[in-house]
Chain A
Amino acid sequence: MSDKKSPAPDPASGNPASRDPASRSSEPRIIGRSEFIRTSATVVGGLLLVPKSLPGSPRTGRPGNDLNIALLGTGAQGQVLLSSILKIPAVRVTAVCDIWTAYNQRRVSRLLQKYGHEHRTYEDYREMLAKESDLDAVIIATPDFWHEAHTVDALAAGLDVYCEKEMSNTLEGARNMARAAKKAGRLLQIGHQRRSNPRYQHCYEKLIRDAGLFGRFTTVNGQWNRSVQPDLGWPKKAVIDKAVLKKYGYDDMHQFRNWRWFKGLGGGPVVDLGSHQIDIYNWFLDAPPSSVSAVGGTDYYEPRTHQWYDNVQALYEYKTAQGTVRAFYQVITTNRNGGYFEIFMGDQGTLEISESAGRGSLYREDHAPLWDHWVKKGYLKSPQEEATPAGAILDVRETLAPAAYSLPFEMTEPYHKPHLENFFDAIRGKAELNCPAEIGYETAVTVLKANDAVASGRNLAFKPADFRI
């Protein structure tokens, strides 16, 4: 987040460009545009697909490399992504699709009007893919069980895809997505946004790989502790028709709003939250795990409406080039104490990192070489001197707290913005994806197996072939 806030106030900025009412039908609505330009389309596989270009061919030659994108899924995560997209130059949102036309779709459509993005709205993504002839990419932020269909069809339509994690709620689905990207020759970025976070990149590239600051990793510990939450509700004036809910795979509004808790739709907290962090385990350890044991259950919430485990404690084992690493991960949904972080412990030091901008400390083991050289090189900042309180007594029975070094810079932007920028830069041929389908798949294999381990009550081994697409 920037030091402070928005551009200079403009009294007119809040005024809408038009008063087009929200779309309430499946017909595309043109928002802020006088004419809906239709172009020729080709029927492929029962869908009207508009081939944008041949696989691997250059992007359209708009001035300034401007990109036209669609947002598929306008719920909470779609809105988070859109907040970042609106701050990225030369990216226009020209189409929006969501089945909740009376609320989330309407909300995003009006938001786009405020920012002057001319766009059309859709309920049915197939119709959007068929009719939108000038798209470069689709941002997918729909429930996990829709990711496969949405991604595969968008790729087949010749579009690059940014798909939120979890890549899919099934490995078969995730595999099909990766294969579809390869077949189409298109980009598929999975939304593990820490992969593009400059703090995490600095830790991996500079502190771990270059400086080897922490020595040999032996232990990892991470958690995401969250407070008790009520189920999500919905405005009574914005109920989706039952037939529409059924068409898109939901039993009712409650399930639609709380899909993350339902088997067959989402993956529960260890997938929703843990996936971000366990992905970092694989990244920083340079290896996928060799086994996982886990316990958990739906112990607090109503099991009928919370089918996935409300708490999971998982223990992964990694066989890295340096040796065995054991990595613990906990997600709970009944107490927020401690928040969320990842801690990597080596025989020469410890890295404590979190997406939270306020956390990021490094601790040197007493016997390890001094870190002064790396401080001078700008890799980390020295501990700040803390005055000892008058009358303080050191209890020698306890281990003396090590001095806390810190990362040399802060993350000052919205968390998802660098990952989206990486995707857009990759479309323009200026960057490689930081989280392509292959990485997303490896993480999906790693994380989904934690749920399997809870269900089986056994230690489950990973085979190298499990991670191959």
Chain B
Amino acid sequence: MKIILIRPAFGLAAVALMFYGLSAGPQEKMVPIQIELPKPMFIGTPANLRVPNLEKPLGKPRPPFLAPEGTLNLALGKPVTSTDDYPIIGELEMITDGDKDAADGSYVELGPFLQHVTIDLGQPSEIFALVVWHFHKQPLVYFDFVIQIAGDPDFTQHAVVIYNNDYDDTAQLGAGTDNNYVETAEGRLVDAKGHIGRYVRLYSNGNTSNDLNHYIEVEIYGRPAE
């Protein structure tokens, strides 16, 4: 059991929350999760990419991520809510519709500045990994990318931060130490370390091209919690 401090969204007072960091048992068979990747499609004039803490591209395919056998994408078809329920283009349902293409009609564009989307998995789940495709049609970097998992929609129960690249705490969610990275068709895989939660929330705060926020797809690999 660990104790972690997180500051809930939008400047509320910091609270101490407890969560259980669970992982697969030692006797379980671990297998690579099967991630179907979309076609790469960089087009257009590249954006100005001067970003602090920018991770160097791996230059080769991401190594397989192992999870207990039977792990599935729990997010597929699950409901999504957002701070922007009137997207600029696309619908929130696109985030969990299984379509990872970067073409027009396959992504949702949310309003400027800090926004978040929340996926309700429908039941408490043991989550091993997230894979996030913001937008891979251009080599963009999304700022203040923060992922939280919690047991309730207000993110007050068993809430945990599993990724945070907001190094200067612009989003006022607490400063993070994870890297900025360039979006690619491979998506960003984040190790969720078996944390249990029903709700997954993803923040972002614009990108290197504009102030807007995009999602093509979010996959959440896990299994229902026992």
Contact = CB atoms under 8 A, between A and B. Distances in A.
**Interface residues of chain B: helix, strand, loop or mixed (majority):** loop
Interface residues of B, number: 46
A226 B144 CA distance: 30
Contact of A1 (B44, B51, B84, B105): B51
Contacts of A6: 112-114, 143, 170, 205-206, 211
A9 B10 contact: yes
B31 interface: no
Interface string A265-292: 0000000000000000000000000000
Contact of A9 (B41, B50, B114): B114
A11 B10 contact: yes
A413 B48 contact: yes
B156 interface: no
Contacts of B9: 11
Interface of A: 1, 3-11, 13-16, 19, 76, 80, 83, 86, 103, 106-107, 110-111, 114-115, 226-227, 229-230, 232-238, 336, 355-358, 410-415
B1 to A, nearest CB: 32
Contact of A15 (B42, B84, B143): B84
27 contacts: A1-B48, A6-B113, A6-B114, A6-B143, A6-B206, A6-B211, A9-B114, A9-B172, A11-B9, A14-B84, A16-B111, A80-B44, A107-B88, A107-B89, A110-B86, A233-B103, A233-B105, A237-B105, A238-B104, A355-B45, A358-B49, A358-B50, A410-B50, A412-B48, A412-B50, A415-B47, A415-B48
B64 to A, nearest CB: 25
B109 interface: yes
A13 B45 contact: no
A232 B41 CA distance: 10
Contact of A13 (B44, B111, B170): B111
B43 interface: yes
A6 to B, nearest CB: 5
Given A4-B170, A16-B86, A238 B105 contact: yes
Contact of B143 (A5, A80, A235, A356): A5
B210 interface: yes
A14 B82 CA distance: 10
B113 A357 contact: no
B40 interface: yes
Contacts of B205: 5-6, 9
Nearest to A110: B88
A280 to B, nearest CB: 15
A13 B205 CA distance: 11
Interface of B: 9-10, 39-52, 82-84, 86-89, 103-105, 109-115, 143-144, 168, 170-172, 205-206, 208-212
Given A9-B10, A83-B210, A229-B41, A103 B104 contact: yes
A232 B104 contact: yes
Among A1, A6, A19, A106: residue with most chain B CB under 10 A: A6
Nearest to B207: A5
A415 B45 contact: yes
Given A16-B111, A103-B89, 16 more contacts: A1-B49, A6-B114, A15-B84, A15-B86, A16-B86, A80-B44, A83-B209, A83-B211, A86-B210, A106-B89, A107-B109, A110-B88, A111-B88, A111-B212, A229-B42, A410-B50
Nearest to A340: B46
Nearest to B114: A9
A232 B87 CA distance: 22
A19 B84 CA distance: 12
Nearest to A114: B111
Contacts of A237: 105
Given A14-B110, A16-B86, A235 B115 contact: no
Contacts of B103: 232-233
Contacts of B208: 1
A83 B45 CA distance: 13
A5 B144 CA distance: 9
Contact of A233 (B104, B111, B210): B104
A415 B209 CA distance: 10
B87 to A, nearest CB: 8
A6 B203 CA distance: 14
A356 B46 contact: yes
- Which 7 pairs of residues, A with B, have the shortest CB-CB distance? A235-B105, A9-B114, A14-B111, A14-B84, A83-B210, A107-B89, A5-B143
